[in-house]
Structure 1
Amino acid sequence: TDENIAPGGLYNFQEGQQYTVNIVVPPNILKHVQNTNSATETLNLTDNEIGKEIRLESTAIDVNQSSDIDDRALGTVTDEIPQIEGIDWSGSPVAGRTVRATPTISGGDYPLQNVIYTFKINGETKATVTHQNVEEDDLSNEYADYTIPSDSVDGDELTVTVNVTDQDGDTAILSSENLVIQNSIPVINGISYTNTGNFIPGQEIIITSDISGGDDPITVEYQFINDSGDILQSWSSDNSYEIKLTDLGKLISVLVRVSDENTNPISETFDLESVFTTVTLEVNPDIDEDSNADIYTDKVNVIIPGTESSSDDHKVKWKFKYKG
């Protein structure tokens, strides 16, 4: 309330009467500062001003009440909306290995509330990684790692979707290009071995495996067993086994297992041939107690179960006894 405000114009009021003046700040005035000695003033903008032009009206008044007014446009308010310019992959897309997704993020109001990575294989979500309160200075080291499952099929497609939310709640979303997964599983095609058809105690069996596929390094291991279930030689990289007397009459088998750095061991069993079991001795002529013969001939047959037979040099120990 101001006193003695004289009306002017055609208004009809008595002098000396009190008048009430309401000073209204228009709704488009964001800030009104009076009687300040500061040459600097600040204005905090909100989302309500996005897209609007901001003008500044400044009035300078000296002690003599002389004044000067400056009215100028400062510019249009824009929002710092986050942007994802691209996503780079690094690492080999091989089953069992780890790949890295690195987005290029710009804009937005910091710190970013969330940077969310969603990894999918053939469209199915497999993993989600969330980073919170990410500062602008940390963007150069912003990434997420993902380990591809070892049971992934060769040709599966991996993608990652990055979702960024800034401090104001503005978001940006971008999906990567498909990354084709490779999974070359090792395969045991078969084996070969020494001394085929001639297994006798004291000889050594040496196994050679035919392996294809897989990603280096590849590990091959062997285990020797018999048809009674006995373990003759436990799992190891040793591909040889020396036949023992206790193996006579047994069927020996070898278990071969192979694995690369991405897969669990794959094993197969291969039956080898039986160890020689039957030895027969035939003496000719028949022993006659009255005979003066001092030279005898003999024949030794070493027979593998089945129809095969072979003759070898041998020694015979004789023992003569009286009959009766």
Structure 2
Amino acid sequence: MKKIRLRVNGTWRELIVDTETVLLDLLREDLRLTGVKQSCDRKNQCGACTVVVNGKAMRSCLARVADLEGADIITVEGLGTPDNPHLIQEAFVLTGAIQCGFCTPGMIMAAKALLDANPDPTVEEIKHALRRNLCRCTGYKKIIEAVQQAGRFLRGETTPEAIRPKPAQGITGVSHPRPSAMGKACGTAYFTADYVIKGALELAVLRSTIPHARIVSIDASQAENMPGMAGVLTAADIKGTNILKYLVADRPVLCKDKVRYIGDPILAVAADTRENAEAALEKVRVQFEPLPTLSDPEAAMAATAVQL
């Protein structure tokens, strides 16, 4: 354990932290700043957890708190609120750069770090600043436009009021901001993982590390005896049809006999804490028989292509 002093959203805090605690967990779990999102299982890949640390955009999922003594940290909650949003938050809302909104706080914080250092960035400079922030549903065109619009706001070239749709303009044929967008831009919109349910178990999922294989055996006996364990779930435990209701009918909730892509879910463990669930997952042993893979579209369309 280590005593550390940080400034978070303008407030100095003295905390006792485990030396391995990462900033993402401190912000979300201890300070309940759930605008900081966790999306890639702490693999430093998605950018949803981006915050500003000492003026620089930083992905908080791998940043150890013990290394941040005296740091000045800003999260999306520290920029503004739905009643008093920051100009960058206004720009994302008014430009239509928010759909599901899960990546939005990280995008906004990366944009803030950029615009603080460079108030008039080029499109290429914006792309470079956002290169570590992934978005699946909005598309990057509107996000880039939002950063450009934020720059115009910050430089005083225009204002949110000047471009905000007016009631007199009518409803039909006028682009109005998504009703939920401002909450997403300010980090106040709650997603599933943001809710705290007293007494709820934590779930951890074992996923395939190879793209195509037959599941020969699953041994969870050691996991079942780990501290805090409540149970292990496999395909055999699913009541009803073990199929997700998507466009294809061969995507199981938990794989029974075969995995078809890296990340395919095989097994889940439930425990009293996330740490205990993850520790139990490490004890599960799965034996695979590798099968041929499809790695490009042309191979997949060939008459001789393996059937997944």
Is this a same-fold pair by TM over 0.5?
no
Structure number with greater CO (CA < 8 Å, separation at least 6) is 2
Normalization by structure 2: what TM-score? Answer: 0.18
Normalization by structure 1: what TM-score? Answer: 0.17
Comparing both structures, which one devotes a greater share of its residues to helix?
2
